[in-house]
Structure 1
Amino acid sequence: MYRLLIVDDEPEIRLGLKLKIDADRLGLELAGEAANGLEALELLENEEVDIVLTDMNMPLMDGVSFLEACRERHPDARLVVITGYEDFNYARAAHRHHASDYLLKPVARDELDAVLAKITAELDGERDELKREELARWELSQYYKEMREHFIVRLVKGESDRESAVLDRAARFGLESWARREARFLTVGLRHRDTAAAEPALERTPDRFLLPLELICREKEETSGASCAAFRDANYPGLVHFVTVESEDWLRAFAAELDALVRELLGFELAAGIGQNAAGFGQWKEGYLSALLAWNLSDGGTDNGGDVSGEQAALSGEEINVIERYLERGELAALERAVSQSLRKAMASSRSRFVKAIFQLYLVLEPHAHEARVRLDSSEQLWIRPELALALDTVDRAVRFLAGIAEKIDRRRRSEAGEGEASLMDAVLRYIGENYMSELNLTQIAERFNYNPSYFSEMFKNKIGKTFIQYLTDARMAQAVRLLEGTELGLWDIAELTGFSNASYFSSKFKRMFGMSPSDYRQQASGKKGRGGS
């Protein structure tokens, strides 16, 4: 509904105008009436008014003075002037003050209706355009947030690009000062509790509150300013993670405040784990994994990663790497022997070290299970049921548990290989779609999916119908077109956000593909939108 103000010094004329307006059909409601310009200005100060229908010949403040004041103080209000035939100077004044239209006395119903219909249509168009602009700003904001979080996840997974590319991207997302500073990680989640005693209808389990937990964490991130960044890892859907370069005391206070919020709003206790310090981007993976492990070992409250990495870790980096290589090669017997040997050594040291070793090995296997799309049942999900580790009270039981997950992963991989190359291509295309903005090349992708680069190149072209470079360029260009059409970002920004090395190279590729420069394309797209909205 648009709000209308009627200004005339004669009550019967105001009444007549109201009776001639089909308010419901036009989507109008009366904001008020005024007998002169001074009353009208006072009402405009206190009421939201979209359209002003005003006489020009009034006492106290004439129409010209009212138009001047109204245009200065309320420039968004639409002005419709009513004047006598003999008062042509008033019509000129109305034009000078950008009145939407003017009507001659006596005002005919159809003329008034036509003028108001034209104005409401213009207001509808402006509202639609404003909504489109707000949506574009929101989408751009979301896009930036998604790209920033994607960058952080790649860092904590150890999948970062060349150092120069990493630093450039860090600058893009306001993280350049974090590159060589000491960072700390916090992992939080709702601990699963035994609810067997609860009535089924009243059962409250953490998995039903994952979205509210994430919303609380995102809001807490926002209120912290730029002190920390929240992110999610698809491997651990029930957890939210934070990284900060603030002190450990700051992080502990932050975790305590978050816990208080969760208790108040959700009625759950928050389990949290703080990882070891990570000096620079190169150590973010270790810092993140130590926070994950600390969360898994916590029993509510906030636990510190302590000695989960480095020389005092339950298992050494070399032991982990050997076991991971066996998994990659599908050498399950060798993997089982290596796991057994590592666990026996940990058990000989202490029960605590043995439990930490189980979790370390689980954190090696779980991402591979996710990548292979292996569904782990609830009895295998230590990330949400860490108490299950207590049942793995012997080396043999722990080995059977971990080897069982490894066997599932290997069986899935062999099954997909047996299904042919179509399944592989689906995974490759999905990976490109999730990482087009990063530095990708054919050799890197081939090695990731365990193929010889030359053979992979031929296979990709045969299956997809275009070369790897052509497909990657098309995927990046599709996103670039979206940003050209929906945002006002400069070419350097668009090139950066879509994976092109620089704006010059992006412009050159764009012109070859579309026959015009990105700027010309944006102007043309903007023109089409303008014609479509008029």
Structure 2
Amino acid sequence: MYRVLIVDDEPEIRLGLRLKADWDSLHMSVVAEAANGIEALEQLAAEAIDLVITDMNMPVMNGVSFLESCHEQFPTLRIIVITGYEDFHYARAAVRNQARDYLLKPVSQDELMEALRKVAQELDEERTFLNEQETVRWRLSQYYKEMKEHFILHLVKDEIRSAQTERERSELFQLDKWGGHSVRFLTAGLRERKAGVKPLSDAERTPDKLRLPFEMLCREFAETQPQRVSRLQSQPQSQPQSQPTPQSQTSDSGLVLAQMKPQVFLDPNYPGLIHFIAAASDEDATASFIEALRACIAEHLAFEPAIAMGQPVTGFAQWKEGYMSSLVAWNLLESDVGITSKDYAEGRPVLTDEAAKIMQRQLACGELDAFKQAIHKELADVFFESQVQFVKLILQLYLLLDSLAHAAGVPLDTGEQLWVRPDMVLALDTVEKAEGFLVQLGEKIQRKTKANAEDPEQSMIQAAMLFIDNNYMYDLNLTMLAERFNYNSSYFSELFKAKVGTTFIQYVTEVRMAHAMRLLLDTPLSLWDIAELTGFSNASYFSSKFKRLYGVTPSDFRANRSLHSSSSARTNPDLGSGSSNG
């Protein structure tokens, strides 16, 4: 709502103006009144006003002086002048000080509404322009890019269980057009040179030393690629059709023509690899992209990268499988096992989510014998089925353990990093060999967990806190988190409070508030955007919660930097943490 101030020394005139206009239809609201120019200037200094409707003949400060002060102190303020004096110098003063209209008393309802409509249209156009500018700045900001990659990573890890959250976030990060179409994941990385292979230069370089320039080069290459127009099949009719954007149009054949640039993201579990999402329908464009990227990396880093392409998948629900197939394809790119993305896609799912959760809990609780038995059963069940399924299972189990190692802060030695050693997959050609390798990793993770915690439950709570820290922007609730770690929700709630010293809701709120404060200070985002990005249900709840915690509104906190240190001290100071369920 646009905020209006009425200035007139006669109360009945002010009341008449209130009653003559249909303020709601114009998205306006009369929020204040003043009897003279001095009172009006005080009101303008105290609160944000979009439009002033003022008389010219007033005591204390006449209309001309008031207009001049407004022009000097509030240059963007809209003003409508109303007076009973048909005096040219009043009209000239109004125009000189950028008044939007000049009305004579008595003002008719039609005249007032017409003047208000003009101002409302101006304000709408200005707000749209400013919002577009803020959106552009936001999308260019590093924080936006980090949040977008974070969302992509959650999609490929299949950690988002809310269809509404998925829809809202995909629209926010301009990924919604990818959700209903066929895509391929590409994985690129540098590998150690094979024995006898001559380097492209004499420089003593290794993939590890080139990790950062490799990442920067890949990002810049993807960003500077020309837009390619890809023909994408329309979404199923059962789903709502999105409106074409200026960059897309719908053809007569029902195909959507969209300009699709590859999306780029990193997975911290696999340092040294960078991943791309490309439209699967344009295979020629994807092949050209891969070859151009390979040539660019070889030219600048004197290393020829290994680039693999996963199987085509359609819809966010299949992104996890598509991403996994890309990792597998990269791992086996130069091996002799002969498994292709097509082979990987065939057959039943090897490792179920239920089995993965059980193994995760067994390690968290120190149940190594049970963990070993579970590993053996999974491997033995698949070994005689096919080599493809056996290799697929080994890699899935490794990726699970690698993720747990990363979460527990367990560094893996070069000899344990299966994802950079495709020859190791071939060497694990029996149940006993594969079991020994995987159980050894599990024992290493468990020893680290045990060293960091006096009891298994403490380790589980630390993992739960880390999950909250990494997922604060999504819809979190106690039942969901308890199920994730295979605990009864009531017991989990009591355990969390005993170990952390605060309730689940309080902890999540603190984490969300820490990130909200960062956004208030570092971005021009509105309170609605900040509430959405930090996991609060709406801006009103976020504002009231913020004021209850810190004694000031989010807007006041943003405006008064002296409040920052005292407020920050009362919430989680670690801005790498998470948040609560509003």
Q: TM-score, normalised by structure 1?
A: 0.64
3-state SS of paired residue (1:244): strand
- Of the three residues 364, 368, 383, the one matched with 1:344 is 383
Which residue of 2 is the match for residue 317 of structure 1?
Answer: 349
- Provide the aligned length of Structure 1 versus Structure 2: 385
Which residue of 2 is the match for residue 207 of structure 1?
Answer: 208
Structure 1 residues 139 and 273, CA, compared in 2 at 3 Å: closer, same or farther? Answer: closer
Structure 1 residues 434 and 160, CA, compared in 2 at 3 Å: closer, same or farther? Answer: same
Contact 1:416 1:424 in 2 (8 A): no
Q: Is the deviation greater in 410-419 or in 507-516? A: 410-419
Give CA-to-partner distance per residue, 1:145-175, whole Å, 9 cap, x none.
Answer: 1110000001100101410111001111111
Matched, 1:274 2:275: no
Q: TM-score, normalised by structure 2?
A: 0.60
Which residue of 2 is the match for residue 470 of structure 1?
Answer: 506
Per-residue deviation, 1:284: 0.7
Partner AA of 1:335 in structure 2:
A
Structure 2: gaps spanning 5 or more residues: 1-133, 228-259, 566-582
Per-residue deviation, 1:194: 4.1
1:49-198 equivalences under 5 Å are: 141-194=141-194
Give CA-to-partner distance per residue, 1:434-487, whole Å, 9 cap, x none.
Answer: 222122122223333443322232233334333221221122122222222332
Contact 1:216 1:262 in 2 (8 A): yes
- Of the three residues 269, 281, 284, the one matched with 2:319 is 284
Contact 1:332 1:407 in 2 (8 A): no
Partner AA of 1:160 in structure 2:
I
Contact 1:229 1:244 in 2 (8 A): yes
Measure, in 1, the Cα distance between the counterparts of 2:325 and 2:187: 9
Which residue of 1 is the match for residue 4 of structure 2?
Answer: none
Measure, in 1, the Cα distance between the counterparts of 2:217 and 2:554: 40
Structure 1 residues 470 and 477, CA, compared in 2 at 3 Å: closer, same or farther? Answer: same
Matched, 1:482 2:522: no
Contact 1:323 1:338 in 2 (8 A): no
Measure, in 2, the Cα distance between the counterparts of 1:515 and 1:269: 57
Which residue of 2 is the match for residue 458 of structure 1?
Answer: 494
Per-residue deviation, 1:489: 1.2
Give CA-to-partner distance per residue, 1:280-325, whole Å, 9 cap, x none.
Answer: 111110110010001111029xx9622212xx24xx3155456535
Q: Is the deviation greater in 370-379 or in 207-216? A: 370-379
Matched, 1:295 2:326: no
Per-residue deviation, 1:278: 1.7
Contact 1:319 1:342 in 2 (8 A): no
RMSD over aligned Cα atoms? 3.3
Contact 1:297 1:356 in 2 (8 A): no
Which residue of 1 is the match for residue 542 of structure 2?
Answer: 506
Which residue of 2 is the match for residue 71 of structure 1?
Answer: none
Contact 2:450 2:459 in 1 (8 A): no
Give CA-to-partner distance per residue, 1:394-420, whole Å, 9 cap, x none.
Answer: 443233223332343445455556446
Q: Provide the identity percentage.
A: 48
3-state SS of paired residue (1:230): strand
Relative contact order (C-alpha < 8 Å, sep 6+): which is higher? 2
Give CA-to-partner distance per residue, 1:248-288, whole Å, 9 cap, x none.
Answer: 33222211111111110111121112111221111110110
Measure, in 2, the Cα distance between the counterparts of 1:514 and 1:146: 28
Structure 1 residues 188 and 279, CA, compared in 2 at 3 Å: closer, same or farther? Answer: same
Which residue of 2 is the match for residue 381 of structure 1?
Answer: 417
Measure, in 1, the Cα distance between the counterparts of 2:471 and 2:552: 27
Partner AA of 2:415 in structure 1:
S
Per-residue deviation, 1:426: 4.1
- Of the three residues 246, 252, 272, the one matched with 1:238 is 272
Contact 1:432 1:472 in 2 (8 A): yes
Measure, in 2, the Cα distance between the counterparts of 1:139 and 1:514: 29
Contact 2:557 2:563 in 1 (8 A): no
3-state SS of paired residue (1:207): coil
Contact 2:311 2:342 in 1 (8 A): yes
Matched, 1:227 2:261: yes
Measure, in 2, the Cα distance between the counterparts of 1:265 and 1:434: 35
Contact 2:351 2:397 in 1 (8 A): no
Structure 1 residues 139 and 249, CA, compared in 2 at 3 Å: closer, same or farther? Answer: closer
- Of the three residues 216, 235, 251, the one matched with 2:286 is 251
Contact 2:266 2:273 in 1 (8 A): yes
Measure, in 1, the Cα distance between the counterparts of 2:562 and 2:183: 44
Larger radius of gyration: 1
Partner AA of 1:267 in structure 2:
A
Structure 1: gaps spanning 5 or more residues: 1-133, 530-534
Structure 1 residues 524 and 375, CA, compared in 2 at 3 Å: closer, same or farther? Answer: closer
Contact 1:274 1:295 in 2 (8 A): yes
3-state SS of paired residue (2:418): coil
Which residue of 2 is the match for residue 334 of structure 1?
Answer: 373
Give CA-to-partner distance per residue, 1:169-207, whole Å, 9 cap, x none.
Answer: 1111111222222221111111223469999x9643211
Which residue of 1 is the match for residue 437 of structure 2?
Answer: 401
3-state SS of paired residue (1:272): strand
Give CA-to-partner distance per residue, 1:347-386, whole Å, 9 cap, x none.
Answer: xx45x66544433443343223323333322222111111
Q: Is the deviation greater in 445-454 or in 208-217? A: 445-454
3-state SS of paired residue (1:466): coil
